[in-house]
């Protein structure tokens, strides 16, 4: 597979503010990459640097093998879908779609044909004569997408394109964007703060925080083997439980502090006496018969969504448990839960790195 | 007091205020139609008994109003064109860049707006005289008006530009346009209403401009209507009907433009004129 976008040693400063710190990222042709992280983590800055709307301070940025550091956006051959869609309000849908073609001097008839073809695939055929203000949110979103795909760019950049849509439409568009990506064989970079979007859509997820790439890899790899506490807490919903723990004297068990000391066994050998943080995913904690669990926990809050029950314990370090079987659990009950040793994540108490 | 009564009272107050405010205008229109004797009758009549339509033709001919209005139009259009061409670029830069220098620039621009024309005219006159600009008096007035009214225009148009989302420009850049192209293709069409409204306001200001024209333009045949009206009035004037006819001819076109466009002018000033 060839590299479509390569970033090496990229830094970006705004005056004294260090917005991107030593970014190393290579994106393969045809892959769908999600940049995810909390707001202000630098993911949008990174995307805008790819587009050429921001310049990078140091490092190299290559698109399709060509150095792009100082190339203006119009010569990078990339397309971008903005959060606000940024449709030209004074142009009809058709004019919006063909704008990039008209600038490049494509003959009118040809541009019109291209617009009709794209509109047919995105379901906009009936709307070509309308103005953006006459469209619904979902339709505007489609126009923004169509405007990007009409010219077959080297890469698609998406800047939180679904955040202005309601929940149901968002789930629908998620699939639609991914389908479109596969059909076009495109290379896409997708910025989002929603880890579900990143996990479901992308082949490769890049988790960022404070301008640093915390971890990158396949979605399930990030879920199964988070590199540090931040990634562990960011990926997965509801978020992973973190409880302070100390490695037992045999090195194969953890003394976990959830109100009272409890012990869980590990499937690996650690340095005895080491202070660590245990990471327990809510969905990995299972109910067991009294006396057979590794935890005895008092129930604090019970929230039921029908498909699953979210139980938050009344302990010092709160633990959330997701239970899909319906059990009559009430506030104040004492429940027994267990976890498979292989599902226990252990992070260093100080650095937060995976142990 | 109930809400309805309250609203009625407010309406009455509004009407009274409007009547007071518009009375001079009304007096101008009817005095122009009165005969010489009716004009000085006591008590004054509020509607002319025998409207004298011939006054208009007489004033137009005797005062050479065609020439005056032509000069006013040249000065007004000249100022609007100069201000629009220079001011749009200036306003755009001030809208898109934020730093200390832009803030200083904005402050200076607003300072210029504070200085009254009657104060500025002396240094302008001396400067123009040394540059030989007084040989082209109408051009000199256009430049002086442009300098005076530019800040007003720049501040208004800057607000319009700020209302155009930057993402639209960025979309145009990514779509393959240059910055200049994006400005002309995307930003300018969207800011058009705001620019037009500001230009109309400038036009109306320049059309009625008096201080600079009076001081700089000596030759009668080059003077605008405002100066012509002033020279019509002497210390012993008693032909008020003729003067009012002159004033009517002078302001009615401007009033008409304003009334026709007022909805767009108000919305253009407030909404930023995007949608």
The residue of B176, B193, B273, B275 whose CB has the most chain A CBs within 10 angstroms, and thus the best one to mutate to test that interface, is B176
A267: confidence class by pLDDT, cuts 50, 70, 90 = confident
B270: confidence class by pLDDT, cuts 50, 70, 90 = low
Q: Where are the alpha helices (DSSP H) in chain A?
A: 43-51, 93-103, 108-122, 137-149, 167-184, 195-201, 219-224, 229-234
Contact A104 B274 (CB under 8 A): no
Provide the ipTM: 0.84
Average pLDDT score over residue span A49-78: 92
Is the omega angle on the peptide bond into residue A5 within 30 degrees of 0, that is, cis? no
**Using CB atoms and an 8 Å cut-off, which of residues 167-196 of chain B contact chain A?**
167-168, 170-178, 181, 186, 189-190
Q: Are residues A187 and A306 in the same domain?
A: no
How high does pLDDT run on average in chain A? 91
**For position B54, what pLDDT does the model report?**
83
Q: Does A104 touch chain B (CB under 8 A)?
A: yes
Structural domain includes residue A213: yes
Domain range enclosing A192: 3-234
Asked whether the predicted pLDDT for residue B108 surpasses 50, the reply is yes
**For position B272, what pLDDT does the model report?**
40
Domain range enclosing B7: 1-52
Asked whether the predicted pLDDT for residue A279 surpasses 90, the reply is yes
**For position B19, what pLDDT does the model report?**
93
Asked whether the predicted pLDDT for residue A214 surpasses 90, the reply is yes
d(CA A162, CA A173): 7
Residue A328: CATH number of its domain: 2.40.50.140
Contact B274 A133 (CB under 8 A): no
Please report residues of A whose CB lies closer than 8 A to that of B186. 88
**For position B92, what pLDDT does the model report?**
93
| Sequence-ordered list of residues with C-beta below 8 angstroms from that of B201, at least 6 positions apart, any chain | B152, B156, B265
Rounded to the nearest 10 degrees, the angle between the axes of helix A137-149 and helix A167-184 is: 20
From the centroid of its chain, how far is CA B84?
14
Q: Are residues B79 and B40 in the same domain?
A: no
3-state helix, strand, coil in chain B (%, to 5): 80, 0, 20
Q: Are residues A88 and A211 in the same domain?
A: yes
Structural domain includes residue A318: yes
Q: Are residues B102 and B186 in the same domain?
A: yes
Look at chain B and report how many structural domains it folds into.
2
Q: Are B71 and B223 in contact (CB under 8 A)?
A: yes
Which of B10, B29, B52 is the C-terminal boundary of a domain? B52
Structural domain includes residue A353: no
Q: Are residues B147 and B207 in the same domain?
A: yes
% of chain B surpassing 90 pLDDT: 35
Look at chain A and report how many structural domains it folds into.
2
Q: Are residues B46 and B65 in the same domain?
A: no
Average pLDDT score over residue span A164-188: 90
Which of B52, B70, B86 is the C-terminal boundary of a domain? B52
d(CA B67, CA A52): 57
Q: Are residues A217 and A341 in the same domain?
A: no
Please report residues of B whose CB lies closer than 8 A to that of A157. 174
Structural domain includes residue A355: no
d(CA A171, CA A176): 9
B143: confidence class by pLDDT, cuts 50, 70, 90 = very high
Which of A193, A217, A234 is the C-terminal boundary of a domain? A234
Of A154, A185, A196, the C-alpha closest to A50 is A154
Structural domain includes residue A312: yes
Q: Are A258 and A334 in contact (CB under 8 A)?
A: no
Residue A240: strand, helix, or coil: coil
Asked whether the predicted pLDDT for residue B273 surpasses 50, the reply is no
Of A269, A265, A311, the C-alpha closest to A287 is A311
Contact A84 B275 (CB under 8 A): no
pLDDT in tens, B179-225: 999 999 999 998 888 898 899 889 988 998 888 998 888 888 888 98
Please report the DSSP string for A28-77 in residue order: ETT-EEEEE-STTSSHHHHHHHHHTSS--SEEEEEETTEE-TT--GGGS-
- Residue A69 burial (C-beta neighbours within 10 Å; 0-12, 13-18, 19+): middle
Q: Are residues B32 and B78 in the same domain?
A: no
Structural domain includes residue A354: no
Residue B237: CATH number of its domain: 1.10.3720.10
Which of B33, B52, B71 is the C-terminal boundary of a domain? B52
H/E run at residue B270: helix B240-271
**For position A310, what pLDDT does the model report?**
92
Q: Are A122 and A141 in contact (CB under 8 A)?
A: no
pLDDT in tens, A90-148: 899 999 999 999 999 999 999 999 999 999 988 899 999 999 989 988 899 999 999 99
The radius of gyration of chain A's CA atoms, rounded to the nearest angstrom, is 24
Q: Are residues B148 and B252 in the same domain?
A: yes
d(CA A243, CA A278): 5
What residues pair up with A320 in beta bridges, in sequence order?
Answer: A312
**For position A99, what pLDDT does the model report?**
94
Q: Where are the alpha helices (DSSP H) in B163-239?
A: 166-174, 179-182, 188-207, 211-216, 225-232
Edge to edge, the sheet with strand A320-323 lists A286-287, A334-338, A295-304, A309-313, A320-323
Q: Are residues A143 and A40 in the same domain?
A: yes
**For position B275, what pLDDT does the model report?**
39
The Cβ of residue A59 has, within 10 Å, a number of other Cβ atoms equal to: 17
How high does pLDDT run on average in chain B? 86
Q: Are residues B196 and B250 in the same domain?
A: yes
Residue A117: CATH number of its domain: 3.40.50.300
- Residue B270 burial (C-beta neighbours within 10 Å; 0-12, 13-18, 19+): exposed
Q: Are residues B78 and B18 in the same domain?
A: no
Asked whether the predicted pLDDT for residue A8 surpasses 90, the reply is yes
Which of A176, A205, A234 is the C-terminal boundary of a domain? A234
Which of A205, A234, A263 is the C-terminal boundary of a domain? A234
Q: Does A102 touch chain B (CB under 8 A)?
A: no
Q: Are residues A185 and A310 in the same domain?
A: no
Please report residues of B whose CB lies closer than 8 A to that of A99. 172, 175
Q: Are residues B139 and B190 in the same domain?
A: yes
Tokens encoding A200: 């479901």
Q: Are residues B40 and B75 in the same domain?
A: no
Phi, psi for residue A36 in degrees, rounded to 5: -135, 150
pLDDT in tens, B13-24: 999 999 999 999
The Cβ of residue A327 has, within 10 Å, a number of other Cβ atoms equal to: 11
Contact A74 B173 (CB under 8 A): yes
Contact B174 A104 (CB under 8 A): no
Q: Are residues B104 and B27 in the same domain?
A: no
Contact B172 A88 (CB under 8 A): yes
Q: Are residues B75 and B16 in the same domain?
A: no
Please report residues of A whose CB lies closer than 8 A to that of B172. 88, 99
Q: Are residues A246 and A263 in the same domain?
A: yes
d(CA B17, CA B19): 5
**For position B36, what pLDDT does the model report?**
76
What's the gap in Å between the CA of B178 and the closest CA on chain A?
7
Average pLDDT score over residue span B88-97: 91
- How many residues are present in chain A? 355
Average pLDDT score over residue span A35-44: 92
Q: Does A172 touch chain B (CB under 8 A)?
A: no
Q: Are residues A24 and A142 in the same domain?
A: yes
Q: Are A191 and A35 in contact (CB under 8 A)?
A: yes
Q: Does A51 touch chain B (CB under 8 A)?
A: yes
The residue of A15, A83, A103 whose CB has the most chain B CBs within 10 angstroms, and thus the best one to mutate to test that interface, is A103
Point out the least confidently predicted range of A65-79, A116-130, B35-49: B35-49
Of B153, B4, B3, the C-alpha closest to B89 is B153
**For position A1, what pLDDT does the model report?**
63
């Amino acid at each position: 597979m060839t590299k479509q976008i390569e970033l090496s040693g990229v830094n970006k400063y705004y005056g004294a503010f260090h917005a991107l710190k030593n970014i190393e990222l290579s994106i393969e042709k045809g892959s769908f990459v999600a940049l995810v992280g909390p707001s202000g983590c630098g993911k949008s800055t990174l995307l805008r640097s790819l587009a050429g709307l921001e310049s990078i301070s140091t490092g190299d940025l290559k698109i399709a093998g060509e150095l792009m550091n100082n190339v203006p956006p119009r010569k990078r051959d990339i397309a971008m879908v903005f959060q606000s869609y940024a449709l030209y309000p004074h142009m009809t849908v058709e004019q919006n779609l063909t704008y990039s073609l008209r600038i490049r001097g494509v003959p009118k008839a040809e541009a019109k044909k291209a617009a009709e073809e794209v509109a047919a695939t995105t379901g906009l055929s009936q709307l070509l004569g309308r103005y953006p203000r006459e469209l619904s949110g979902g339709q505007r979103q489609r126009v923004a997408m169509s405007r990007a795909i009409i010219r077959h760019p080297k890469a698609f950049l998406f800047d939180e394109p679904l955040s202005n849509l309601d929940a149901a439409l968002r789930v629908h568009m998620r699939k639609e964007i991914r389908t479109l990506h596969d059909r076009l064989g495109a290379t896409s970079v997708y910025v989002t703060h929603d880890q579900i979007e990143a996990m479901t859509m992308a082949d490769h997820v890049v988790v960022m925080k404070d301008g640093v790439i915390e971890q990158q890899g396949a979605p399930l790899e990030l879920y199964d083997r988070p590199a540090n506490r931040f990634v562990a807490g960011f990926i997965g919903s509801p978020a992973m439980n973190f409880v302070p723990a100390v490695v037992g004297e045999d090195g194969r068990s953890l003394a976990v502090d959830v109100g009272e000391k409890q012990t869980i066994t590990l499937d690996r050998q650690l340095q005895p006496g080491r202070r660590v943080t245990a990471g327990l995913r809510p969905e990995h904690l299972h109910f067991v018969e009294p006396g057979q669990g590794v935890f005895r926990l008092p129930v604090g809050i019970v929230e039921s969504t029908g498909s699953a029950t979210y139980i938050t314990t009344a302990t010092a370090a709160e633990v959330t448990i997701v239970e899909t079987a319906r059990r009559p659990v009430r506030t104040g009950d004492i429940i027994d839960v267990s976890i498979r040793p292989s599902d226990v994540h252990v992070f260093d108490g100080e650095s937060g790195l995976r142990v | 007091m109930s809400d309805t009564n309250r609203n009625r009272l407010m309406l009455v107050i509004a009407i009274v205020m409007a009547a007071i405010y518009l009375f001079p205008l009304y007096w101008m229109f009817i005095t122009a139609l009165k005969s010489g004797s009716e004009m000085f009758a006591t008590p004054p009549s509020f509607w002319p008994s025998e409207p004298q339509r011939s006054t208009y033709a007489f004033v137009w001919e005797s005062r050479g109003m065609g020439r005056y209005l032509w000069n006013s139009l040249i000065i007004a259009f000249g100022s609007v064109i100069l201000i629009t061409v220079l001011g749009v670029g200036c306003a755009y830069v001030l809208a898109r860049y934020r730093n200390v220098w832009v803030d200083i620039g904005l402050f200076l621009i607003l300072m210029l707006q504070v200085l009254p024309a009657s104060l500025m005219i002396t240094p302008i006159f001396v400067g123009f005289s040394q540059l030989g600009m007084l040989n082209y008096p109408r051009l000199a007035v256009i430049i002086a008006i442009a300098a005076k009214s530019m800040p007003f225009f720049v501040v208004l148009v800057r607000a319009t530009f700020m209302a155009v989302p930057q993402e639209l420009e960025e979309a145009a850049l990514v779509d393959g346009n240059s910055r200049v192209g994006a400005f002309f293709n995307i930003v300018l069409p969207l800011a058009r209403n705001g620019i037009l409204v500001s230009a109309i306001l400038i036009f109306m200001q320049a059309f009625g401009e008096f201080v600079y024209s009076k001081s700089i333009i000596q030759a009668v045949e080059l003077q605008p209507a405002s100066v012509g009206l002033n020279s019509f009035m002497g210390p012993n004037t008693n032909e008020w009907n003729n003067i009012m006819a002159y004033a009517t001819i002078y302001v009615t076109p401007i009033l008409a433009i304003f009334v026709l466009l007022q909805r767009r002018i108000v919305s253009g000033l407030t909404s930023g004129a995007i949608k």
